[in-house]
Amino acid sequence: MQARRASRELAFILFSQSEKLDFSKENLNDIIVKSIRILLSSATDDLKVSLGGLIDMKNRIDDYEAEHEINLNRPMGAQNIPVPMALTSDISGRIDEMIDVAEKAMLALEIAEFSALDSEESVKEYTSKIVNAYQKNQKEIDELIAKYAKGWDFDRMVKMDKDILRIAISELLYVKETPMKVVTDEAVELAKKYSTDDSSNFVNGVLAKIIVDKNLK
């Protein structure tokens, strides 16, 4: 996993803690550590949900097997015979949900591991660059979001969407260390992971307008 992806995830957690960021260099590191703990806690909860789903699925399969006519007619104490499943759509859908939860949990754990390693100090440094860029240019960045999110009341926009855009615009216009396409793609992925079903298209549309109007390359 790329260190800067971890930085964006951490920045998103930081942004989610307050509407107006007011971090000093002295306390930013402590807040990053707090954000890592939030990610770990969330990952633990997600893994528990996934484990519970797997146990439930196993129990349902065992019950289906035991109650099948093939096994109902077997002698008491005899081991059940595997039986064919009538439908797979329900099981497949549940498994997909658990895989999605587990993947998000693993990503959170990977981010925490990246951030905790001394050799990956660059994660914290890049997170700080994003936060500092937004702190110094908050008014201009929020005005850009309001301008290009036509038809949307800025104050009533989903906060997660605003925070994802704030991170991406900070990178595009002020940090300028990551290719434009990477920043945009990562913002869309954050929207898919954390926000509503329509958020990825919304975030992509706003960033596309800014990129064109600012002639970014």
Asked whether residue 147 is domain-assigned, the answer is yes
Is residue 45 located within the same domain as residue 93? yes
Q: CA 104, 107, 111, 116: dihedral to nearest 10 degrees?
A: 110
pLDDT, position 22: 64
Is residue 95 located within the same domain as residue 200? no
Residues 6+ apart with CB under 8 A from 104: 43, 46, 193
pLDDT, position 10: 80
In the predicted model, residues of the chain with pLDDT beneath 70 are 1, 18-26, 28-29, 86-90, 92, 107-121
Question: Which residue, of 93, 119, 145, is where some domain finishes?
Answer: 119
Residue in this structure with the two tokens 């519970």, named with its chain if needed:
52
Question: Which residue, of 119, 147, 172, is where some domain finishes?
Answer: 119
Is residue 111 located within the same domain as residue 156? no
Is residue 33 located within the same domain as residue 86? yes
Instruction: Decide: 134 and 167 in contact? Cβ < 8 Å.
Output: yes
Question: Which residue, of 90, 119, 148, is where some domain finishes?
Answer: 119
pTM exceeds cut of 0.85:
no
CATH of the domain at 213: 1.10.940.10
pLDDT, position 122: 76
Domain coverage including residue 204: 137-217
pLDDT, position 1: 44
User: What whole-number distance in Å separates Cα of residue 207 and Cα of residue 188?
Assistant: 10
How many structural domains is the chain composed of?
2
Asked whether residue 129 is domain-assigned, the answer is no
Is residue 96 located within the same domain as residue 145? no
Is residue 107 located within the same domain as residue 196? no
Asked whether residue 130 is domain-assigned, the answer is no
- For 118-149, give the DSSP string: GGGHHHHHHHHHHHHHHHHTHHHHHHHHHHHS
> In this structure, what are the phi and psi dihedrals at residue 31, rounded to the nearest 5 degrees?
-70, -35
pLDDT, position 118: 44
Is residue 82 located within the same domain as residue 186? no
Asked whether residue 127 is domain-assigned, the answer is no
